[in-house]
Amino acid sequence: MITVMGAGAFGTALAVSMARVRPVRLWAHDAAHIAEMQRTARNERRLPGVPLGENMTFCSELETVSKQDIILLAVPMQRLRAVLEAHQGAFGQAQLVACCKGMELSTGQGPIGIIQEVCPKATAAILTGPSFAADIAKGLPTALTLACGDNAAGPTLQQSLTTPNLRLYRTSDTTGAELGGALKNVMAIGAGVVMGAALGDSARAALMTRGFAEMTRMAEAVGAEPETLAGLSGFGDLVLTCTSDQSRNYRFGLSLGRNEGFDPSVTVEGAATARAVHAKARALGLEMPITAAITGLIAGELQVEQAMDMLLSRPLKEE
């Protein structure tokens, strides 16, 4: 059995895709939301206009699962630990696949580290890469990275989670996969700021390129493989989220660049992650000036003109 925990847009889209080929259970903490989806076969709150498949069932409670069960954790990054702690008695030796991207603000940990800490008997994996919920739900072709440090469990998960429109590439480099997904959200905010402030496509291309250099720098510093960052979970996701207003992080950056307000009910994973990444970079002694500038903008400590001057006045060097 595959269970998707989290009935937001992305979790619902994954459940819809999986349900085309196998039974899927969709969990949400809100019992009223579950009742609404059961009644209407829709999730109009989070993914309007998409019919929920006949293979889908819904629940707000989770009974004990077996070690053969796959749990997709499609909850916001900053809530992942709380969800795991609330259900750790049920998970046991289940296969837990994080579908969120970012760093925990309080600890600087990624999803894999949190799973291993809270549920040490479970198999930990992460599903990440360039993907929008709307595309997945519509059955459009999407390629993702599945990272699992257990080389026996990884191929089984890859087979189980592949659908007609989801093609999964496997890696054992969980550190690189989760860092790529976390850091690209920070750069997507920066790309949105550039475009919102009308600094131009050339400036966005420069930010993406130098931002990718920062992503690789941090990943290598913590033992990740640079090839992982050059793949779907790093470069691929960076391109998508820095160039499309379907990205919440990019839209949040647009609002910063335009000096406009942003809907506080919309989850922007990159905002908290930027602070966590900036703190981690300082602890590691890493130079990450773009991350520092974006963090300052989010905190209201910098204006766009100040951030731009700070970056453009840095010493000249070889690429």
Known catalytic residues are 184
Token readout for 308 is 């731009």
Residue 87 one-letter amino acid: H
Tokens for 119, please give them: 């549920």
Distance CA 261, CA 211 (A): 25
How many Cα atoms occupy the beta-carbon half-sphere of 225 within 13 Å? 11
Q: How far is CA 74 from the centre of its chain?
A: 9
Tell me how far apart the alpha carbons of residues 238 and 111 are, in angstroms, rounded to a whole number: 19
Which one, of 237, 269, 277, lies nearest residue 79 by Cα?
Answer: 269
Instruction: Provide the β-strand partners of residue 127.
Output: 146
29-to-18, 86, 148, 205, 286 alpha-carbon distances in Å: 21, 11, 27, 40, 39
Rounded distance between C-alpha atoms, residue 97 and residue 116, angstroms: 11
Q: Determine phi and psi for 91, rounding to 5 degrees.
A: -70, -45
Report how far Cα 32 is from the mean position of its chain's Cα atoms.
26
b/e code 31-63 from CB counts within 10 Å (16+ = b): eebbebbeeeeebeebbeebebbebbbbeeebe
CA gap 45, 65 in Å, rounded:
28
Instruction: Give 265's DSSP letter.
Output: T
- Between helix 174-196 and helix 269-284 the angle, nearest 10°, is 110
- Cβ distance 145 to 128 under 8 Å? yes
